[in-house]
Amino acid sequence: MKHLPGVILFTLLLLPRPGIAEDMIMTRSVLAFPEAMLALQESIAAHGYTVSRVQRIDIGLTGMGYKTDKYRIVFAGKIDEIRELTDKAPQLTPYLPPKISIFAEGDQTILVTINPKRYAEIAGDAIAPVFFDRWESDLRSIFYDVNTAR
Amino acid sequence: MHLIIGLLLLVITTVVVGEPRGGELYSAHCSACHGDTGGGGVGVPLSLPSFLDSVDDKFLRMTIRHGRPGRVMPAFSQLSDAQIDAIVRFIRSWSKEPAPEFSDEPIRGDAQHGKQLFASECADCHGEKGEGGRGTGVTFSRKRDLPITPPALNNPGFLAAASDEMIRHTLKTGRLGTPMDSFLADGLSEQDIDDLVSYVRSWEKQLPVTEKRAVTVAETTISVESPYTLKETIENLKDAIVSQNFILIREDTLEHGLVREGEEDPSEVILHFCNFKFLYEALAVDPRVGMFLPCQVTVTEVAGKVTVATINPLYLSRLFNNAELSEYCEKMHEVYALILEDATL
């Protein structure tokens, strides 16, 4: 029984994963923006991350007189991890906290983020690659949740 | 319990060694841009009947494999041939018509005459040098009543994927549901169309090879040591940001929202700022620019040493495969460098 969680995790990792481009992770949700945003925030929390801020890009643009659709940036992270990164790889600090862009496209919603493997590239030897592999795995799982939420 | 593990392993084995499933691969790799049912969005509408009736499977395979350098569509080099074939079969399932087949034989026409025809018949949509329409096709970049952004005909990915006969077919029949009309119906002759094909083919050059190499810190961030205190540096930055015509949005600690108020590390501060006109224009070029947003400068103090740092937009720009966006990244790089210089002089 002790192997079951690992087997399930492995199985989940082999399921279709949203948006496997090398440099970015993207997915589409058939949900309208508000519902997709809710699904995203719930999944982020379920994966143990804290949403630290939501930047409402569309509100800023509209306030300045530009016409736009819904566009938000969701910042999220785990404080222990953020502190480890700024301590061991300060060159990553300008890229923190990690963020996810979420924007409406018609009556659906698109999510995009940088593949954490690119952060590994910036951190160099200061942080073990497995750290960012786990981030990538979590992000793909979060995107999968939003992609399949109904 | 062993039965459950056995069943799960069976599922895994099926996934690993079984026939690639085109629908799932499409959902994983393509639907974010092209839509769940191929209706288009950031990418072109693949399910448009006039599109599927005018491109062969080789075109689709080569397009997935090599992408469109500088035009957002990435090269899916990580996919196997079998996976790409499965995606093509899935895309093809949207049409009841059989896939067209086109010869790879080159078409001999008068490229000089084709150049003149291109200027008068094609350049309005496809650009003077075949560079294609601007933007990627979502809400910010174009009206939703336009079904497609005119493709870049001079793109090495397009020219590697499209045979002369395929281009000729499109010129002759047009693409119903897009602004691309039939040139035969518009009065051009078969010879005129061959001349146009020859001119478009004259742009062909070798596909660029993606260079994989280690990056340096200097490439990924812009960083300057400040001779001032943390507080002074922050005030200097605020002035510098405004002097570059940006609006300061807010000042936060890096840990804001991640820990309880009052427990944040005060020696890591982020200044968020924006130039909304610049932002609006950048979003029109690529809706994924949220990766840059909002503009931010991070100020840190470690053992009395104050450092000011930003992301390097030139480093991020290469992740987007969007030549238009690269121009904006160069401008943003200049702005960041100026702000840092002004604040730390």
**Residue matched to tokens 């790089």:** B333
> How far is it, in rounded angstroms, from Cα A34 to Cα B135?
25
**Mean pLDDT, to the nearest integer, of B307-327?**
92
Kindly list the structural domains of chain A, giving each domain's residue range(s) and its CATH number in brackets, ordered by start: 18-148 (3.30.310.70)
> How far is it, in rounded angstroms, from Cα B280 to Cα B286?
10
Q: What are phi and psi of B71, to 5 degrees?
A: -125, 35
Q: How confident is the model at residue B20 (pLDDT cuts 50, 70, 90)?
A: confident
Q: What are B94's two structure tokens?
A: 């949207």
> How far is it, in rounded angstroms, from Cα B46 to Cα B60?
10
Assign domain B217-255+263-344 to a CATH class. alpha beta
Q: Alpha helix (H) ranges present in chain B? A: 2-17, 22-29, 31-34, 49-52, 57-66, 81-92, 111-121, 123-126, 156-161, 164-173, 190-201, 217-220, 230-243, 276-285, 313-320, 323-344
> How far is it, in rounded angstroms, from Cα B184 to Cα B182?
5
Q: Is the pLDDT of residue B206 over 90?
A: no
Domain ranges of chain B: 15-201, 217-255+263-344
CB contact under 8 A, A22 and B78: yes
Which one, of B175, B219, B193, lies nearest residue B108 by Cα? B193
> How far is it, in rounded angstroms, from Cα B206 to Cα B156?
7
Residues 6+ apart with CB under 8 A from A117: A22, A132, A133, A136
- Tell which wins on pLDDT, B18 or B184: B184
Q: What are B133's two structure tokens?
A: 């329409």
CB contact under 8 A, A22 and B302: no
What pLDDT, on the 0 to 100 scale, is given for residue B19?
Answer: 62
Give B24's contacts in chain A (Cβ within 8 Å): 16
> How far is it, in rounded angstroms, from Cα A99 to Cα B291?
7
Which one, of B77, B81, B342, lies nearest residue B236 by Cα? B342
Distance from CA of B334 to the nearest CA of A (A): 17
pLDDT tens-place string over residues B158-205: 999 999 999 999 999 999 988 899 999 999 999 999 999 999 999 998
Count other Cβ atoms within 10 Å, centred on residue A79: 18
Q: Is the pLDDT of residue B282 over 70?
A: yes
A vs B, Cβ pairs < 8 A, gives 191
Q: How confident is the model at residue B265 (pLDDT cuts 50, 70, 90)?
A: very high
> How far is it, in rounded angstroms, from Cα B47 to Cα B49?
6
CB contact under 8 A, B221 and A91: yes
CA angle B280, B281, B285 (to 5 degrees): 115
Identify any residues that bridge with B301 across adjacent strands, giving them in sequence order: B306
Report if pTM > 0.80: yes
Which one, of B212, B215, B225, B213, lies nearest residue B312 by Cα? B215
**Mean pLDDT, to the nearest integer, of B110-128?**
96
Q: How confident is the model at residue B290 (pLDDT cuts 50, 70, 90)?
A: confident
End-to-end CA distance of chain B: 68
One CATH from 3.40.50.11440, 3.40.50.150, 1.10.3720.10, 1.10.760.10 for B15-201: 1.10.760.10
| Buried-exposed string B302-320: b where 16+ CB fall within 10 A, e elsewhere | eeeebbbbbbbbbbbbbbb
Q: Is the pLDDT of residue B76 over 60?
A: yes
Q: Which of residues 118-137 of A touch B (CB under 8 A)?
A: 118, 121-122, 124
Give B311's contacts in chain A (Cβ within 8 Å): 94-95
Q: What are B339's two structure tokens?
A: 């702000």
Tens of pLDDT along chain A (150 residues) come to: 444 444 344 344 334 444 444 788 999 999 999 999 999 999 999 999 999 999 999 999 889 888 888 999 999 999 999 999 999 999 999 999 999 999 998 889 999 999 998 899 899 899 999 999 999 999 999 999 999 999
Find the helix or strand (DSSP H, E) in which A146 lies.
helix A129-148
Helix (H, G, I), strand (E, B) or coil at B71: strand
Of the candidates A17, A21, A79, which has its C-beta nearest B259's C-beta?
A79
* Mean per-residue pLDDT of chain B: 89
> How far is it, in rounded angstroms, from Cα A94 to Cα B292?
11
Interface test with A, best of B9, B11, B139 (most A CBs within 10 A): B139
> How far is it, in rounded angstroms, from Cα B322 to Cα B72?
5
